[in-house]
Amino acid sequence: MDLELKGQAVLVTGAGSGIGQAIALAFAAEGAAVAVNDLTRERCQETLELLRPTGVPAMAAPFDVTRLDDVRASIGEVHDRFGRLDVLVNNAAIMVNNTPFVESRPEDCEREIAVGLFGAMHCTRSVLQGMIGRTHGRIVNIVSDAARVGQEKEVAYSSAKGGLISFTKSLAREVGRHGVTVNAVSPAATDTPLRREMLGRLEAKLGAEAVAAREEKVRRVYPVRRIGQPNDVADLVTFLASTRARHITGQICSVNGGFAMPG
């Protein structure tokens, strides 16, 4: 299926690895120009190297999504390079600790919410006027089924993603008349560096055998009996950014192997 994304200009936040990296590569495979965001230029570099063989225009856009002035300045550079910005994918997020809320530090919770929610709002604020002016734009927010059904030991992370779900729906109602769609893609457990880091901490605490048993229990929760891969998410993101999805907005689309089936 031709998604008609060739020549489109795309910014993916948190694209230095994991789901964000997979999304950047998926857009490049469709012929889109890609701006790769992460905290530093060094973090962007691996993804840029992977994009190089595709031949599409690509650039690093290093900035901290929680700093609005930096976001605006860097997105201005993306506009200067590509001439416009057609698609924004708000993927940047962090999980500082996988601990019960009562044991969490307020500053860690604030950071998780600042990156996952306010970061997406800052990036959207910085691109939206241009999209409205061109009467065309696609915003895709990466949320989480942890927010849709709840997840212990991920209270602040889930809260950030829950806020992003509400942001998605409310903004979609505001900007649809201007040719801009806003949707969210909601993964469950996905094999990313973030998740592998969390499993590493658990292994140090509980041991390899206990973690292996835990992972087997997790797989059994999924009707498809597998942990998601970043490409599973990227495939849906590119579709939602395409003209094929022009009549889809304000939707929260789970990519979760049947883990949860919210109505």
Tokens found for residue 109: 């919770």
Neighbours of 237 (CB within 10 A): 29
Residue pointed to by tokens 């060094």 = 42
- Alpha helices, DSSP H only, in 118-224? 119-134, 145-149, 155-175, 193-206, 208-221
| Choice among 157, 167, 239, 259 that is catalytic | 157
- Given a contact cutoff of 8 angstroms between Cβ atoms, the answer to whether 141 and 183 are in contact is yes
Q: Has 222 been annotated as catalytic?
A: no
Q: Is the dihedral of CA 150, 152, 153, 155 positive or negative?
A: positive
- Residue 68's SS3 state is helix
CA–CA separation, 171 vs 257, rounded Å?
A: 28
**Which residues participate in catalysis according to the annotation?**
157
